[in-house]
Amino acid sequence: MAGPISLGEIASRLGGRVVGDAGVLVEQVASLEHAQGRDIAFFSSARYKAQLTATRAAAVILGPRAEPLTRLPRIVSDNPYAYFARVSQLLNPAGAPQPGVHAAAHVEASARVAASARVDALAVVGAAAEIGERAWIGAGCTIGEAAAVGADSRLHPSVVVYAGCRIGKRAVVHSGAVIGADGFGMALDAGRWLKVPQIGRVLIGDDVEIGANTTIDRGTVDDTVIEDGVKLDNQVQIGHNCRIGAHTAMAGCAGVAGSAQIGRRCTLGGAAVVLGHLSICDDVHVSAATVITRSIRKPGTYTGLYPFEDNASWARNAALLRHLGKKRKKRNG
């Protein structure tokens, strides 16, 4: 924790406008409900007005319209939640790794580990792998042959990065994530499944965060690509040959089947599913538990949950539902 810090100092670093005593000191962020004497909270919705009135926070972050709702010292920002995130980063800076390779780690002689990097106990770094400056490889991680982890990235304990896969700079990969396992490539031959070798890689850009137990499959021939700034929650599945556009975010248990292409700045709610070989344009938002069954070429929000039934009935009823609006309009003249 980096506090205490005054509201005036926060505003000088992050912008925003201080109303009230700029000398008020804060040490930590907290919710309106549980904040105490040196905490700073945020207010972004009228539904929490009672909590704002009752809060014991030292200060509050809020938007211009909410400024008159409290007499507490406050920082006014057009985006209170994003500002709150920046304040939390300021008060809770990520710890810098103490460089060095633990005696219980195994690093192949041909691997290149930056002098400023850290490799914890029981981690394995394969032949010709590269670990960048200030990267932190947690206990029990496996970095495969010729894989790479970029500068300032952190892999929490028990992450597996398969051979040849690459992670960019400033990535955060949480425990249990698996990067580069075989995609589900199977060819049916005389009633039996024949495995298709998965010889592509996974390429992950800069500033990506990957949640616990999330899996990203390597490509069949071409690479699976996760572009810069993508945020994946826990237990997300990305199939082989997918491309996920920059700054897209997916909530827990979302699934993207093989060869799907997701645009930039998209969001997928929890348990949303995108079927294989589909294409989704930039700035599309898919609601939780929605199943995307056809490509989307127009930005916007898409929602749908249809009851399970036999496939022929589902296809027939879905087609009828899709045209109900046109039929109603035609009937009403």
Catalytic residues: 240
Residue with tokens 């990305």: 238
Going by C-alpha positions, the residue among 159, 199, 152 that lies closest to residue 178 is 159
Does the CA dihedral 319-322-327-328 come out positive or negative? positive
Which run of H or E residues covers position 186?
strand 186-189
Distance (Å, whole) CA 197 – CA 157: 29
Residues 6+ apart with CB under 8 A from 95: none
Supply the angle between the helices 311-322 and 324-331 in degrees, to the nearest 10: 40
Structure tokens that stand for 184 in this block: 């589900």
End-to-end CA distance of the chain: 66
Q: What is the CA radius of gyration of the chain?
A: 24
Q: Are 261 and 243 in contact (CB under 8 A)?
A: yes
Does the CA dihedral 17-19-23-26 come out positive or negative? negative
Q: Count how many Cα atoms sit within 13 Å of the Cα of residue 250 in the half-sphere of its side chain.
A: 33
Distance (Å, whole) CA 286 – CA 288: 7
Structure tokens that stand for 103 in this block: 């005696």
Q: Pairing state of beta strands 192-195 and 186-189?
A: antiparallel
CA-based angle 227:231:234, to the nearest 5?
Answer: 130
